[in-house]
Every structure is written in C-alpha cells, then in structure tokens.
Chains A and B, each alone.
Chain A
C-alpha cells in the first residue's frame, strides 16, 4: 500500500494532517509520498479546491481519497480494511 499526501505550507489543516500522517508512518510500514501543492507538479492527481488531499493506492490503483482534516482512527481503519 502507498499513500500520497498533497498539502501546502500555507494551510492549517495540512499541518494538522501532517501530524496524523507522521503517526501513521511511525506505526505502519507504509510508503507515504509528500507532494507540495505549491511547488510540485500536481496535475496528475486531479486535486480539487480543498486541501490536504490524501490518496490511498493499492498496486498503483487509487482505492480511496480523503480531503481536508480526518482523525487518525479513520486513516487507520482504511489501512486495516485494505490489509484484510
């Protein structure tokens, strides 16, 4: 499983989600790719108007997408569901 996190240094919700994703990284052996909304090429991710965007991939296929702030438990549930 792989997670792509698209966030911006200008966004409060992104800072909050950075902390959540850091905890995920500490507790699960999952690759998390950080993409900067302002400085990286985001064209292939089809990002809307709300940040951050968390995209979950399994075998390079997008399986789930979250926008905005979400609790640790929700991210954890998605990972566990996929692992089963």
Chain B
C-alpha cells in the first residue's frame, strides 16, 4: 500500500509539469506608490497562485537606483523605451501600463511563451536565466490575416489610419489657410517662378515644422502626465468638450451659407502688410527668412485654433509605448496629411496661376467629423484607454 502511495505521489508531482510544460520567467519593473503597478502586482498574486512554473521577478525603480540602471539596460535589450511603469517583460516582449485589456494581453503572451519557446535575453542579463536559447519569436499581440496584405497587427494598422484621418480633418482647419491663399495671390505678382516655388514651399514646410515641434513637445509632456490617470481623464474631458463645441458649431452653421468669417481685424491687417513687405523684398534671402518667421509666428498663434486634434493624437501615441522612430514617423504621417490640402492648393496654383479654392462648406463638415472624433477619443481616454492601445 505504502509503495502505491509513493507512486501516486510521484505521479501527482509530475502533473504540474505535464500540464504547464515549460518554466517561464517574467520581469516586472514597478514603482512603490504607483497605482497601476499595485494593480498589476495584485493581478499577478492571484493569477500565479497555482502556477509554480511561472516566476515573477519584481524590480522597484522609484526608490532603487540600481533597478533604474537595470531597467535602462533591459530597455536596450527589448528595444522598447522605458518611458513609463509598470514595465513588464515576458520573453523579451514588453507590455507597459496596466488595465483590463492589458491583463488579457499578459495572459495571452504567457500562454504563447508556455506553448512556444520565447527568447529571454532579459533573464540572462538579470541573472535569472542561464543561457539565451536564441529562439525566433514570431509573436504579435493582435495579428489579423488580411487577404493580399497578409498578416498585420491591429496597432500597425490603426495608428497610421488614425494619423491619416485626424491629419486630413485637421488640415481643413481654415485658421492658417487664409494666409497661404493671400501669400499665393501675392506670389503671382512675382516674375521669378523659382522664387515663387521656394517662398511658398518654405511657408508650408515651416508650418509643418512648427506643428511637429508642438506635437513632439506635447508627446514628451504626455509621457509623464499620462502616468497619472486623473490627468489623462482631464485630457479626455477636454476632448469631449472640444468635440461638443465643434458638433454644436456645425449644427449652428449647417443651414447658414458657407462663407469666410472675418475675425481680429488688427491682426489680419498686420499679417497682410507683412506678407506684402516680404514679397516685395529685393534681397531673396531676407524674403526667405521673413517667410519662415511669418510661418512660425502664424502657426504658433493659430495653433490655439486647432489645438484639440494634435493634442489628442499625441495622447493616443503616448499611450502606445512606441519607439522614438515610430513616434516620429507617425507624427510625420499626421503632418503630411495635415498639409495635404495646402500642398495641393499651392501646386495647382503655381502650375495654373489660378487659385482653386476649397469651398468653406467642407470646413463645416471637417468641424463635424473632427468633433465626432474628439468625442469618441475623449470618451475612450476616460473609460477605455486600453482600446486606444488597440488591445481590443
């Protein structure tokens, strides 16, 4: 009888390994007092209760400088910037932040690594894994099979689409457009075509640079303030208000005839006389510098007019824990589409010496679409931020 009970005990000891198969190390970088980290640790306490083959290693980074250096090194290994905590590494795959959506993502990644082999260079560096088995990791969190295009991830598709749509809608903002239209009219008076092209394109390019600088600064700020969920909710509330105002403006003006609203007479006259001065300037280099200063100042002033959309887009970017290159590429994509209507109007005008205007009735629709986008993104920022990380 005793002999059989030993055999039974031996079989029972084997069961966990038969069910779960492999061992898995996961590494969590957290901060003492960080609410998302606390939630994530609580989740793991419960989730790992009956999973002895999964080992969670925790590294506190708000008070422990050594762990900060470790995190920096791990970020180099994984290739994912450590711009926020909790920063979780499972098989060299980083999952940052914590929410219900992310919880599902963690479980999915753990199951993937238990079923397949995942690399663990992080473990080797931290001294928790003996050697790196150098396996190829084909894991993607939200991969869909699309005919012709093949396998694509939700995030890889969603962010560029968002950049294109919001950029285009934002581009129809008429605040800075009138300056370009006036500039083109003035350029028609110049005889040198080369100078016309150079001055016009410099204006458009500088406008793009100002926008990029603004978005990059906001992104930097957002990566810090997003750690506090209250701030994120406040930005969401701001988006909702902005969205409601835009939709209201559309409803108010939808039956009115489309036209140009003339505001701030003094500023207008100042800008008009400045443009006339630049265009009549004999020294080309001074005209070029003048046009850059004009584009810089005008876009800075008019930024308030369309603040909502770029802010909310960079907010979505910051939630997605992307690499610096990805951030830059997505912002550039946004700006290309933001400037698209300006570029088209300018190129056609230069080719035909005639301004092909876009009716202001489309501006009304851009207010409506922009307002709806802001409303949706604002609500998601408050209630379902994980959806904006495209973890459905």
On A, residues with C-beta under 8 Å from B are 8-16, 37-38, 49-52, 66-70
Contacts and interface: CB of A to CB of B under 8 A. Distances in A.
Contacts of A49: 261-263
A5 B26 CA distance: 73
A67 B262 contact: no
Given A49-B263, A69-B360, A13 B268 contact: no
Interface in B169-226: 174, 177-179, 181-182, 185-186
Q: Among B174, B259, B269, B360, find the residue whose CB has the most chain A CB atoms closer than 10 A.
A: B259
A13 B357 CA distance: 7
B329 interface: no
The 9 closest A-B pairs by CB, nearest first: A68-B259, A68-B257, A11-B260, A15-B357, A10-B178, A50-B259, A12-B357, A10-B182, A9-B185
Nearest to B272: A38
Contacts of A68: 256-260, 360
Contacts of A70: 257
A2 to B, nearest CB: 22
Contacts of B186: 9
B257 A12 contact: no
Interface of B: 174, 177-179, 181-182, 185-186, 256-263, 268-269, 272, 355-361
Contact of B359 (A8, A50, A69): A69
Nearest to B345: A12
15 contacts: A8-B260, A11-B259, A12-B181, A13-B260, A15-B357, A16-B359, A38-B268, A50-B260, A50-B261, A52-B260, A67-B259, A68-B256, A68-B258, A68-B259, A69-B359
B288 to A, nearest CB: 22
B181 A69 contact: no
A10 B258 contact: no
Contacts of B185: 9
A10 B176 CA distance: 10
B174 A10 contact: no
Contacts of B182: 9-10
B268 A69 contact: no
B260 A51 contact: yes
